[in-house]
Each structure stands twice: as C-alpha cells, then as structure tokens.
Structure 1
C-alpha cells in the first residue's frame, strides 16, 4: 500500500494554508475588521460588567428588580414590562463604548 502522506504533499498543504491565511489577514486589514471586533468586544465586556453590578447590587439578586431573563410571575405579567432602567443603562453603556471606539473619540 502506497503512503498518502509524503513530504511533497505536506509542503503543498502547508503552502496552501499559509496562502489562505495571508489572504484572510489581508482581507480583514482592508475591511478594518480588527478595529470593529475590538470595539464590539470592549462594548460587550463593559455592558456585561455593568449588568453584573446592577444584578448583584439589587435587594434580592434577580428578583428585586427582576432581570430581563428571569421568569415572570402572574402578578408581574399584569405589569406592562419587566425591563428596568438599570438594565437598559447597562446595555446603553456597552453601546456607547462601542460607538466611541468606532468613531475614535
């Protein structure tokens, strides 16, 4: 049985993979993908941090005020919304950080 893996095949695959990686890096550089992704990641981290502060600072975490992801009781369903301003501010801070990083203030 003939071996399918030899030095020539490995070199061809390696050169092909390096060429594809270089093409991908060139494409991401042309479209400024790194700056967009870093801005989105930083905004997400800030938003997550602010959300955690609001969550752990509440009287009973997740209950008073309820998180947007907590299950609602019958009494809460009668209210118009369970989304509180604190959690909206957490989302807003992440969005503002993302926007400021993209605009580069």
Structure 2
C-alpha cells in the first residue's frame, strides 16, 4: 500500500507543479490583461501558486520519506502525513479509499 501511495502522491504533486507553472503563465500573459488585473498582482499570485506546489513536494521528500517505514512515532507520523498529502487528491480516479487518513 505505501509504495503505491508514494508513487501516486509523487505523480500528483509533480502534476501540480506543472499545472501551477502553466496556470501562472496564463494568468500573467493572458488573464491579467483581459481582466484588468494589475501585472504585479498577477505575478504575485502566479509565484504563490508555484511556491505552494513546490512546498508540498518538499514536505513529502524532506519530512515524510526519510521516516516512512521506520519504527515508533516518527514512522507513524510520516505514514499519516503521507495519507494527508494524498487526501488532497480524493476525487482522482486512481485514489484508493484505503489511503484516507485516520478520522480525527
């Protein structure tokens, strides 16, 4: 289960970075002028979208992957963080219900 979830989350997060780049570019080059949005506002929003997507990737690689599968609290926390990262993609056709995080 864990390997499949890791692969799923990595793929979705990579897609998210690419989508953030594309949508940010579209916002700056086409959306802002068409909607009379100041260019600096559109650029800031585009940077925020990309930064958020890259931050989720960094969270996975820096704080989840080093501890995933380890014993004790660090391993349990990493497993829960992985499920929480995957939960963002609940509506994706490849998302499996068994990956849901534990109820609060």
* Higher relative contact order (Cα pairs below 8 Å, separated by 6+ residues): 1
TM tier, smaller? 0.3 to 0.5
TM-score (norm 1): 0.34
Higher share of residues assigned helix = 2
Of structures 1 and 2, the larger Rg is shown by 1
TM-score (norm 2): 0.34
